[in-house]
Amino acid sequence: MGIEMSSEYGSIDVSKEVVATIAGGAAIDCYGIVGMASQKQIKDGLSEILGKDNFSRGVVIREEDSNIHIDMYIIVSYGTKISEVAYNVQNKVKYQLQQMLGITVDSVNVYVQGVRVSQS
């Protein structure tokens, strides 16, 4: 079950896992992001930061009435302006999905799960 696109040559079915991986990769590239967080963090009580190979774990793709909504769970760096980081994540994710897949995303909801001091 994925996102289906049609063209003059036929139809393309893109898995939600692929969309989530692209969205997670775009978010990690944004300044002020330390990592992705598990969306079940509140329920599980875990504060583990997921590694770079787990881009899709902090991303939930929802499809409602042919509208695509993305929920992203992130951890930001201490000292950054959280609203600006979230705004940049929203814009970059929408842009990357439009450029790579031709998908128009209706909303990107950013949930900040924590703040970490960078280990630089």
> From first to last of its 120 residues, what are the pLDDT tens digits of the chain?
678 888 889 998 999 999 999 999 999 999 999 888 876 655 544 445 544 456 788 899 998 888 899 999 999 999 999 999 999 999 999 999 999 998 899 999 999 998 988 665
Which residue range forms the structural domain that includes residue 25? 2-116
CA angle at 29 for the pair 18 and 71, rounded to the nearest 5°:
50
Evaluate whether 104 touches 66 at the Cβ level (below 8 Å): no
Number of separate domains in the chain: 1
Residue 79 belongs to a domain with what CATH number?
3.30.70.1350
